[in-house]
Amino acid sequence: MSAKKSYKYSAESIIIMVLAVIFMISVVTHYQDYTFWYDELCTISFVRLPRSLGELMHIFLTDEVTNLPLYDVILWFWYRIVPHTEGFLLFPNLIFYITGVLGLTGLLKKVTGNDRAGLIFTFLAFANPFAVKSVINELRAYALLYMFASLTLMNFIQRIPEIGLKEEAGKRVAFSLSLLALSFTHFFGVLFAAELFAVELLLRIRRKKGRRFTEIIGVYLIPLVCCGIWVMCAMSMKRRNIESFWVDVPGIKEIFGAVNSVCGHIPALTVFIGLVMIAYVIFVLITKRKSADVSLAVMLSALVALIFAAVLTYSIVISKSGGLFVQRYFTVIMPALQMTEALAIYALAEGIADKTKKNPRMVSLISLIPVICVMTAGGIKEFKYAYTEYIADGEDAEDIHDEEVDVDKSEVLVILGRPSDIIDQYGRDGWAEFYLRDRGYRTVWEEDAALLKTYDRVAVYPVDLDEDLDPALFEGYTEGPDGFWKREK
C-alpha cells in the first residue's frame, strides 16, 4: 500500500480560512438590510426577462457604452437560475471577492515562504467597509474587477524575474485569459492591463535580457486588440452623448477620499497606514533589507502610483469637463494596495522579531492589534453603514406593497414618469422590474397611461406629479392618504 500523504496546515492558514468563513457569514446575514440604488437598477433592466443575450450585448454597444459587458453577461445567466432577491443576486460578488483575496494569499506565501503576510493581507481585505459596501454589495462589476485584477496580478508577478518566482508551465495562457477578462470587466481594468504591459516592456529593456519582445507582446496582444475592437464598435454605434463625463475635476478632498476608500473608508486607518508605510520605507533604507517581499512591495507601490497619476492627469489636465476620478473605479488597484500594506506590516514585524529575538509568528499576530484598535476607534460607524445601507427606491416600492397588501395586485397599476434620458429609462425599468413586476404588479410608462382608466387603484413613481407626470392624467381619480390614486365612485 502506498503511504498516505499528510497535509500540514499552519496556524495562520487556519485563521485565514476562519476569517473567510466569518466574513462570508457576516455579509450573507445582512443582505436583508440592503436595497439597490439607481445604477444597480439599470443592471436589473439590462439582464431581466425576457431580454435575450443578444439584446444585452446590443445595449452595451449602443446605450451603456461607458461600461463593459462581462459582469452583466455573467449576471444574465445567474438571473435565470436563482430567485430575484438582493441576497441571491449579490452572492456571486461575495465569491468573486473572496476568490481574489485567497488567491493573493497563496501568492504571498510563495514570496515570503510562510503564511504570516497572507494573514495580515486577509485581515485587511476582510475588515474593510468599502469592500463590503461598494465592491461586494453593489450589483455592478467591482467585485469581478477585484477578482480579475487579483488573478492578473498573480500571474504578472510570477513573470517578473526581479521578484524571484518562477513562472509555472501553462501560465501564459492563463495570464492572457485573465487579461482578456479584466479588459472586458471595466475600463479601469483596460488601463491596468495596459499599465502591466508597459511595466513589463520597460523592465525587459532595463535588464537587457530575458523573454523576447515578441513573446511579451503576444501575451498582451489578443486582450488589448479585442477590447480595442469592442470600443471602436461601441463608439460607432452609440446612441448616447458621452463626450463629457459626469465627474468633476478632483481636488485634495476627492483625492484623499479615493485613497481613503481603497484603504477601507476609515480615515483613521488611512492615516495609520500612511504612517506605517513611512516607517516601512525608513526601515528598509536603514537595514538595507533586500528580499523578494521588498521587491514586490516596490513594484506594487509603483503600479498603484502610476494608476493614480494617469487618472489624475487625465481628469485635471486632459479632460477637465469630464474626468474619471471615481472612488469605486480604483477597486482595480485595491489588491495591489492591500498587498503593499500587508508586506509593510509583515516586514516591520519581522524586523521587530529579529531585534527582540521573539517568535516572528507571535510578533506578526501582535502587529494586528494596533490595526484592530484603529479600526475599532474610527470605523464602527463605517462598518454599520456598510452592512445596513437602505435606499429610498426600495422604500418607495415597499410603501406600495405595504399599503396594498390586502388588494389584488392585478387591480393596482404603477405609472412610471417620462424618463429624462436613455439610462434613466433603464433605471426606472429596473426599479419596476425588481420591486413590482416580479411581485405581480402591472407597470406602464406615461405614454401608455390610457390603461389607467381600466384600474381602480393607481400608484405613481416617481411620486412628484408636478415634475414627472401630467396631472390631467388623473382626472376622475382622488389621491388617498396612503399615497395611492383611487377612482372616484
Mean pLDDT confidence for 164-189: 88
The reported pLDDT for the residue numbered 1 is 40
Mean pLDDT confidence for 303-326: 86
Q: Which residue has the cell 472612488?
A: 327
Between residues 329 and 387, the one the model is more confident about: 329
Least confident of 81-90, 130-139, 419-428: 419-428
Residue 489 has pLDDT above 50, yes or no: yes
Q: Measure the CA–CA gap between 472 and 396, rounded to whole angstroms.
A: 23
Q: Measure the CA–CA gap between 121 and 339, rounded to whole angstroms.
A: 6
Mean pLDDT confidence for 321-347: 92
The reported pLDDT for the residue numbered 6 is 45
**CB contact at 8 A, 427 and 41:** yes
pLDDT band at 451 (very low <50, low <70, confident <90, very high): confident
Q: What is the DSSP string of 420-440?
A: SSHHHHHHHHHHHHHHTGGGT
For residue 99, how far is the Cα from the chain centroid? 13
pLDDT band at 3 (very low <50, low <70, confident <90, very high): very low
Between residues 260 and 215, the one the model is more confident about: 260
The reported pLDDT for the residue numbered 415 is 83
| Amino acid at site 334 | M
Q: What is the pLDDT of residues 149-165, one digit of tens each?
A: 999 999 999 988 888 88
Residue 229 has pLDDT above 50, yes or no: yes
Q: What is the pLDDT of residues 361-420, one digit of tens each?
A: 899 989 999 999 998 887 788 888 888 766 656 666 666 666 555 567 777 888 887 777
Residue 463 has pLDDT above 70, yes or no: no
Q: pTM for the full model?
A: 0.92
Pick from 178, 167, 174, 170: which is nearest to 211 by CA?
Answer: 167
Residue 197 has pLDDT above 60, yes or no: yes
Q: What is the pLDDT of residues 24-45, one digit of tens each?
A: 999 999 887 777 888 899 999 9
Q: What is the pLDDT of residues 52-95, one digit of tens each?
A: 999 999 999 999 988 999 999 999 999 999 999 999 999 999 99
The reported pLDDT for the residue numbered 2 is 44
The reported pLDDT for the residue numbered 473 is 75
Q: In what order do the strands lie in the sheet with 412-416?
A: 442-445, 412-416, 457-461, 485-487, 477-479
